[in-house]
Structure 1
Amino acid sequence: MKSFLRSLVYCASLLLSDVLATYHLSAGDPHLSAAQSYAQTRNNGRPPPRTLNPAKTDSQCRSRPLDLVFIIDSSRSVRPGEFEKVKTFLAHMVDTLDVGAEGTRVAVVNYASTVKIEFLLKDHFNKPDMKKAISRIEPLAAGTMTGLAIKSAMNEAFTELSGARPRSKNISKVAIIVTDGRPQDQVEEVSAAARASGIEIYAVGVDRADMRSLQQMASIPLDDHVFYVETYGVIEKLTSKFRETLCGLDPCASGHDCEHICINSNVSYYCKCRTGYILNPDKKTCSLKPVKVEVVEDPCKCEARLAFQKQAQAAIQQLTAKHILSVVSGGMRFIINSLCNTFH
């Protein structure tokens, strides 16, 4: 009986708390109650939504590795202060890249009427050393031999001897050309040869740059590979544009079919699941990880409730039976006593 009463009190307390909670929510705002119920129904069983960290997005580029060569114009038309702006642009670009021997390697080709390779892809594998090397670059201050610079980059900077990864590793080769003038030599043919060798070319024009020459140098589609700024003073604004473009080489960023988490694996990607889920045989979708469930008898839950009801009925029947037996026993004692009095 004590067990029965404790269970009865327990069920009543649970029911009362549910009623009070429901009343509290709906009394404040009935629309809120309905909205929350709908949201809970929609999100039931779904993993939490993915979120972006703005700080990481702004400061790091988790692209797949690149062999990246900057080809910068330091001809007479580029004033010393403007050339410093170009160097600042290069330093900011380095900050956004995932630099390293196994990550993105960077080289700089400086040109005017002559070409000078400031440092090669194999020279610096960390950002501080790379930025120091950039700060030491001096302008050459002569003509604008852009075609010669592209040819030198293709034949000298993008070679395995200079630090470029072998073709078998499938590492993207990218050249970014920055110029403010019209080339004094031919660029169309040498640019076509560079692109045919597997080099993707971006052309950045500043101020008086010749748009037709930029288009002859750049890869297709031109809308994605030709940029123009009015002055060197605003060239740094292109940093975010290139970060978006180069990070777009990330297979996970450019599009994937993983249900939960996409992981880069150099030139490809693979899928993972969040905690509590397992990867399905298709290697893309996830299912809840099977868990061992221990059934606890609760008088207010499903089958346990039926058992509770049976227990209650049995207790009532037992009480009834005891009552009847008590009445019958009392009646028998009354009859026997009456008979005994009669005979006496």
Structure 2
Amino acid sequence: GQDPEPRMRRLLVCVCVLLAFIAVMEARPKAAGDQKCKSGPVDLVFIIDGSRSVRPHEFETMRKFMIDIIHELDVGLDATRVGVVQYSSQVQNVFSLKDFTTHQQMVKAINEIIPLAQGTMTGLAIRYAMNVAFSTVEGARTNVPHVAVIVTDGRPQDRVAEVAAAARESGIEIYAVGVARADMTSLRAMASPPFEDHVFLVESFDLIHQFGLQFQDKLCKIDLCIESDHGCDHICESSPGSYQCLCLPGYTLNDDGKTCTAIDLCADGKHDCEQICISSPGSFTCDCNTGYTLNEDKRTCTMIDYCSFGNESCEHECVSILNGFNCRCKEGYTLNEDKKTCTMIDYCSFGNDSCEHECVSVLQSFYLRTTEPPYTQYTPYTHTHNTPHTHNT
């Protein structure tokens, strides 16, 4: 770390940090019922400088800095998880993201931190955060934002640009807070862009206030649909500190709360199709069996009239049947083997007992006449009840 600044100046800076942050917390908009802004779910890790250049009272201010922020967060396994890492020439894991679920537990652990009081290996601390603190083993979640707040008072004694870039690439959003005469170039090398939202010097009261606003707003109004792997099949709807999955019209949300299944209106019996129902997402269409055509109402079916297609192959009459047609002959005719043409029924061929006369077939009947001219015609017989020889009296 750097040589310490004069005691009074550093004390003034630390007091400004605390007062400004308290002012930010009081001025920040509250939720309904004057409740705290609900944050998370977020995985938040403080990376604090415990080098020998940080005097005891300054470290106390840093301690209160973390406690004040934590008190404004909605902490818990399903909300914001908090971890604290102290670094100097080595890295100390104060507590992991998985360790505590209440404000009281976290505050107790923070109050028990003893400064390491060695060098300023900031790059080593960032690498530890990336590889260990934000690992699933230590309680980090893969579907929520990862946020690191680095608080340092000096220039790093190792290289930070490359490891910070790797950390950002892994998905960690980094805020760099410089105390007193911290090196701005190093802070910018650590922080996520845009730098105006992620790099702060606590020498200035205004910058402290800005940091408090930006950071608290980030945690309380984070859009989890944008910044997390929400896993929603169709639509992600963000709400303060949470999100919910929705489905497109025509779909229903499954029990997993993420995936969607098309609503089968045909299966639910919510259709009025006469024959066939074809389901589609949120809708359905009606169809007809083979040999039927769908009517204009798009619901009922009518058998296809194949005779209406202008079929002229039948000699007499065309009769539509399912999936086709039959030819039919007029009364007094019989259908030939070609199933299309007709021949008049020869009633004389059915057998006639009046052998002394000549039988002459006519349409639907026959009559007898003498065999020699001049012909004498007798009362005709008619074909009734399928008995061609019935005499019509």
Q: TM-score, normalised by structure 2?
A: 0.49
Aligned to 1:144: 120
Q: Distance in 2 between matches of 1:91 and 1:211?
A: 25
Name the CA distance, whole Å, in 2 between partners of 1:126 and 1:60.
Answer: 15
> Where do 1:86-165 residues align within 5 Å?
86-165=62-141
Shift of 1:163: 0.6
Q: Which residue of 2 aligns with 1:172?
A: 145
- Cα drift, residue 82 of structure 1: 0.4
The Cα shift of 1:248 comes to 2.9
Q: Which residue of 2 aligns with 1:299?
A: none
Secondary structure, in 3 states, of the residue corresponding to 2:92? strand
Distance 1:78 1:269, change over 3 A: farther
Q: CA deviation at 1:190?
A: 0.4
Structure 2 counterpart of 1:37:
none
**CA 1:251 to 1:122, structure 2 compared with 1: closer, same or farther past 3 Å?**
closer
Please identify runs of 4+ aligned residues in structure 1 that moved more than 6 A.
Answer: none
Contact 1:70/1:176, CA 8 A, preserved across alignment: yes
Give the TM-score, by structure 1 length: 0.56
In 2, Cα distance between equivalents of 1:154 and 1:74: 19
Normalized per residue, which structure has more strand?
2
For residues 269 and 88 of structure 1, what CA distance do their matches in structure 2 show? Answer: 38
Asked if structure 2 preserves the Cα contact closer than 8 Å seen for 1:67 and 1:105, the reply is: yes
Q: Which moved more, 1:235-244 or 1:66-75?
A: 235-244
CA contact (8 A) 1:92 1:239 kept: no
Report the equivalent of 1:76. Answer: 52
8 Å contact from structure 1 (residues 251, 268) kept in 2:
no
1:265-280 pair list within 5 angstroms: 266-267=242-243
Does structure 1 residue 221 correspond to structure 2 residue 197?
Answer: no
Give yes or no for the alignment of 1:184 onto 2:157.
yes
Contact 1:59/1:95 (CA < 8 Å) preserved in 2? no
CA contact (8 A) 1:99 1:125 kept: yes
For residues 174-194 of structure 1, what are the alpha-carbon distances to aligned partners after superposition, in whole Å with 9 as ceiling and x for unaligned? 100000100000000000111
Structure index of larger Rg: 2
Q: Deviations over 1:61-80 (max 9, x none)?
A: 32331111000001111110
- Between the aligned partners of 1:64 and 1:138, the Cα distance in structure 2 is 29
- Distance of aligned partners of 1:97 and 1:190 in 2 relative to their CA distance in 1, 3 Å threshold: same
Give the share of equivalent positions with the same residue, in percent.
Answer: 54
C-alpha root-mean-square deviation of aligned residues, in Å?
3.2
Higher relative contact order (CA 8 A, sep 6+): 1
Q: Is the 8 A contact 2:223 2:238 kept in 1?
A: no
- In the alignment, structure 1 segments of 5+ residues that lack a partner are 1-52, 255-260, 271-279, 282-344
Residue aligned with 1:107, SS: strand
The answer to whether the 8 Å contact 2:220/2:241 transfers is no
How far did 1:262 drift?
7.4
Gaps of 5+ in 2: 1-27, 228-236, 251-393
| 8 Å contact from structure 2 (residues 153, 179) kept in 1 | yes
Shift of residue 266, structure 1, vs aligned partner? 3.0
Aligned-partner Cα distance in 2 for 1:118–1:79: 19
* Per-residue deviation, 1:245: 2.5
